[in-house]
Amino acid sequence: MRRLVLVSFFKAEAERRLRTSAKRSIIYAIEEPETAQHPNNQRILIDSFKALSEDSGCQVLLTTHSPGFASSLPQESIRYVSRHAETKKPQIQSGVDVFGQVAEALGVTPDSRVQVLVCVEGPTDVLALKALSSALHQADATLPNLASDERLAFVVLGGGTLEHWVNQHYLRGLNKREVHIYDGDVPDYAEYAKQVNERRNGSWAVVTAKHEIESYLHKDAISMAFGFDIEVTDHPVDGKATPQVFGEAFVARAGNGKPLKDSNAKRKLAQRAFPCMTAAMLDERDPGGEVRGWFRRLGDMLA
């Protein structure tokens, strides 16, 4: 409890200092924050640290020996600290090439209940897909609920390392079928999806017909979550996609004029707007049943 209180205090103090001086920046350095914490509290801490790291002028440094805690952090943020075999000097490694070492050092093993890996670009895609599947499951129980089905596990690939994950097939050793769902805003993703579909092992991949997952939101869900209206379009209008349109409206309503980064806009939509989506809203935004088709196909893999 003391750790949770301290984190809350430091967060409030950092926000106060950032508001009072444009030149200040904050670095949080916390050693093994998960120690003696219930898993629910660990999730609270992780979400808080992620939010802090996305704020302008904030950096978060954590150490951990917990495989569960480490696996919930953004993969691009993982650093593996070890001693060089010959010089014995400390060395820091990062990137997909060290994930195997991290997994071995922390004792990370695959969950035997998992049958299918759902691979997406970022953590906001996980929240969005869970919310959409939950809404559809409530209307049609034959569709899987990604928010609670333990036969499915999400793998956040990260846009910067997506090519390496696909080309090298890093997940091959788990012997699990994969489903890849990529946003349609990057032309190269179509080639990555093609490579997955050519594996012939039951894995498959799709690229969204709309610009990105936020393009499937209904404006009523955003209005319910935030109290203001914006137009949600399938593709950018005047170069502005839904997250940017939302971010500008959010800042204008707040009245502080501070720009909202695209990543922060996506996070707010994922955390608050997507959970307001209903099956009827999705059907209105996706009359062709594209999203429903993903989940139907996923359900068939689990049958």
* Model confidence pLDDT, tens digit, residues 149-177: 988 888 887 655 555 556 556 666 677 89
What's residue 244's pLDDT? Answer: 95
- What pairs with residue 240 in β-bridges? 237
In this structure, what are the phi and psi dihedrals at residue 82, rounded to the nearest 5 degrees?
-150, 180
| pLDDT at site 12 | 77
What values do phi and psi take at 29, rounded to 5? Answer: -125, 110
Residue 246, number of CB atoms within 10 A of its CB:
25
Whole-angstrom CA distances from 236 to 13, 173, 186 are 38, 39, 13
- In angstroms, the CA 302 to CA 295 distance is 11
DSSP-derived pairing of the beta strands 26-31 and 204-207: unpaired
Give the number of C-alpha atoms closer than 13 A to the C-alpha of residue 219, restricted to the C-beta side. Answer: 9
Cα 5–chain centre separation? 26
pLDDT given for residue 70 in this prediction: 76
State pLDDT tens for residues 183-231.
999 888 999 999 999 988 899 999 999 999 999 999 999 999 999 999 9
pLDDT at position 28 = 82
pLDDT of residue 130: 95
Q: Which residues does the chain have with pLDDT short of 70?
A: 14-15, 17-19, 21-24, 96-97, 99, 107-112, 158-173, 256-258
**Quick one: pLDDT at residue 253?**
84
Q: What is the pLDDT of residue 93?
A: 86
| DSSP 8-state secondary structure symbol assigned to residue 228 | -
Is the entire prediction scored with pTM above 0.85? no
- 65 close to 98: Cβ distance less than 8 angstroms: no
Residue 182 phi/psi, 5-degree rounding, is -115, 150
Which pLDDT score is estimated for 220?
Answer: 97
Could you tell me where the DSSP H helices lie in 107-175?
A: 123-139, 162-168
